[in-house]
Structure 1
Amino acid sequence: MGKGGESIPDEEWERFLREAEAGTEGAPEEPSARARMAARRREETDRPEPRRSHQPARRQRGKGWYAIGLLAAVALLVVALDPGRVTGWFGGGGGESSPLAVESERPDQPPPTEAAAQQATLEEPFKGSPAAQWGDGTDGIGLPKPQATGWMSKAQVAQALERTRDFLNASSLDPGVLRGDKPKKAIALINPHQQDVQDYLATAFRSPSRENDPRLLFSRFEKAKVRLVGDVVKTRGRITYREGKRGAVEVTTDVTYVYPVVRAAAGSDEVARTIVRREVVMSWDDPAKVVIEPGTFSLVSYKVDTTNGGCDTLTGYLTPKFDAERATSSPGDGPEVDPYNRSKSMETRMREAGDAGCGTATRS
């Protein structure tokens, strides 16, 4: 597993020190109460799913029970590929390009494009894509230096950061999960006492729907239809942290994953790419204040932006399109989107998309 060695910027450190809370004295609190994830259904196909809110509540033991809101915004954006551009996609280099240093802060512009299209091949599945210069698997995910924060010592923060990256690996990079297996290792890291999240997890794999879509947290392909090219998934992103509520260590992950795939049929050689950007915010809570199992975290929020992964499919799997499907499908009616542009935060990306239709990717 690759490790990043970047330090926390001074302004970030000063910001979370100003925002740090002293914590609440008293008995542990327990995440509880089923929170409904409402979504407006659309009549047309190839539409993005609207922004959704997910609001787990917490209970505190004492003289009585009362709820303390823990906001968790849940959103899923999907982007279609433009059928008119499938023969050539501009990117940031071929397989021989030098790898980029791990991302330590948000870039101020999208990666550059080349003057000529380069077609992906089985031998070079990332050719013509900026991802050719990205890290392999968890090596592309930057980790900050640990510092004592909230209820955790420096060593405990370091462990929380490693477990956070373990979750990203188990949810979005594990070969078995990518082939459609249930992400048991990733689920085991989520607080089992956060009941609304457990309800979502129990339903999402049994009966996937707009309200309970496993793609919000996990990358899965239907192995009977597609298979990954090689054993490398390119990534670029970073992990940051600060002190959260009740002295918890709140960790934010913002990572873009690039999956090269071909049809499952033997002899298939047309390479398509599915690009998924996820922001997952998790709270490593103090067991003295929150009911939580050791080594697990509580989910705060999760957002997803997907390119060529299914623009209104509710199967629970990422469903990329190839030339034949794209040639017969309508172009997206939403705005153009560069899936490699990490200069905008996920919050900004969601706000700009709003309720617009399925966007058109400017490259894959």
Structure 2
Amino acid sequence: MGKGEESIPDEEWERFLREAEAGTQGAPEEPSARARMVAQQLREETGRPEPWRSQPPARRQGSKGWYAVGLLVAAALLVVALDPGRVAGWFEGGGGESAPLAAESKRPDQPPPTEATAQLPTLAKPFNGSPAAQWGDGTAGIGLPEPRATGWMSKGQVAQALEKTRDFLAASSLDPGVLRGERPRKAIALINPHQEDVQDYLATAFGAPSRENDPLLLFSRFEKTKTRLVGDVVKTRGRITYREGKRGAVEVTTDVTYVYPVVRAPAGSDEVTRTIARREVVMSWDDPAKVVVEPDTFSLVSYKVDTTNGGCDTFTGYFTPTFSAERAASRPGDGPEVDPYDRSTSMETRMREAGDAGCGTATRS
């Protein structure tokens, strides 16, 4: 800084950087997403679990069961607001070199900034050009709240329930075997076996997946003969919250976005694409004196899922990401635009905005 020049206040510099980062890049065409929601009340006041789908299911285009909204990307051209040469200089090394973000403790008030320069994912840096480059690895990206005595549980019991909740997320969406298409036995073992309708759904979903019985509603799976993950890191960002629920239960809500870099299964494949899944799962850790439940298991209350590049209206039981050849032949979707990295919008709002749309667009991958 030259002599006589005034220093720039920190807040002004941070504002300048935010505005610079708001510049956008030419986003690669990326299929986005199936959004699904199931939100049913579970148990009668008698204390015995009520089947989770006992209420009339939502309908879409006249079909019964859960409704699904697929978002399949059309080409999206985003324009850098500032001089791209200067921006590239400011953010040299982005897409993997920046310091990791602190754990998310509350819903952010805006989406993460878009990378100023187009950086395609590679085998060496599969999160290039993605906000996930600064996210946590695996469960490290999932924030846990401080435990406190709640409902029927002591502080220590709440802490244990929160840890087991995170264990479920790891077993359902991060376990290497499950990601290769194996049955998520550890995750299923944490679900209350007395929820008979839930157990029926699980039994059907892995044998005969369909719109109504789709394992991807709760679990992340890729068909190993078609797709394989790049490396052993899944990036995550999200948080776990809790409150007192019905009959003194501890109701835990998880809201986590998972980013999976993948290539085609054959050896030597080097085109990297990403599948992004945001899940909100609500579970009830029930008082065994009031609800029929096995120790160390929870009752499923509701879930919502929004996926990008996981397949649009395909029900194979696996994510079906597409690559450049398929995207070049695909038609633009007619659904809304969605930023899969935007966590400032609640899942309820995301589902409401998606409505009955079919395949839409993702603004980035």
Q: TM-score range by the shorter chain?
A: 0.7 to 0.9
Contact 1:281 1:299 survives alignment (8 Å): yes
Question: 2:223 maps to which residue?
Answer: 222
Question: 2:74 maps to which residue?
Answer: 82
Deviation at 1:95, TM superposition (A): 1.1
Contact 1:188 1:296 survives alignment (8 Å): yes
The 1:121–1:58 alpha-carbon spacing in structure 2 relative to 1, beyond 3 Å, is same
Identical amino acids, percent of aligned pairs = 76
Give the secondary structure class of the aligned counterpart of 1:275. Answer: strand
Contact 2:35 2:306 survives alignment (8 Å): no
Q: How does 1:58-207 map to 2 (within 5 A)?
A: 58=44, 60=46, 76-83=68-75, 93-207=94-208
Give the secondary structure class of the aligned counterpart of 2:207. Answer: coil
The CA deviation string for residues 218-272 of structure 1, in whole angstroms up to 9 with x for no partner, is: 0000000000000000000000000000000000000000000000011100000
Question: 1:282 maps to which residue?
Answer: 283
* Runs of 4+ that moved beyond 3 A: 46-59, 65-78, 83-86, 90-93
Deviation at 1:359, TM superposition (A): 1.7
Q: How does 1:314-329 map to 2 (within 5 A)?
A: 314-329=315-330
| Count of residues paired in the alignment | 314
Q: How does 1:184-333 map to 2 (within 5 A)?
A: 184-333=185-334
Q: Please, which runs of 5 or more residues in structure 2 have no aligned partner?
A: 1-31, 59-65, 81-87
Q: Please, which runs of 5 or more residues in structure 1 have no aligned partner?
A: 1-45
Give the secondary structure class of the aligned counterpart of 1:60. Answer: coil
Give the secondary structure class of the aligned counterpart of 2:204. Answer: helix
Contact 2:76 2:363 survives alignment (8 Å): no
One-letter code aligned to 1:156? Q
Deviation at 1:357, TM superposition (A): 1.9
Deviation at 1:97, TM superposition (A): 1.1
Q: TM-score, normalised by structure 1?
A: 0.81
Structure with the higher fraction of residues in strand conformation: 1
Deviation at 1:47, TM superposition (A): 9.1
Contact 2:38 2:302 survives alignment (8 Å): no
Contact 1:308 1:321 survives alignment (8 Å): yes
Contact 1:79 1:305 survives alignment (8 Å): no
Contact 1:76 1:305 survives alignment (8 Å): no
Deviation at 1:96, TM superposition (A): 0.5
Larger radius of gyration: 2
1-side partners of 2:101 and 2:193: how far apart?
38
Give the secondary structure class of the aligned counterpart of 1:250. Answer: strand
Deviation at 1:81, TM superposition (A): 2.7
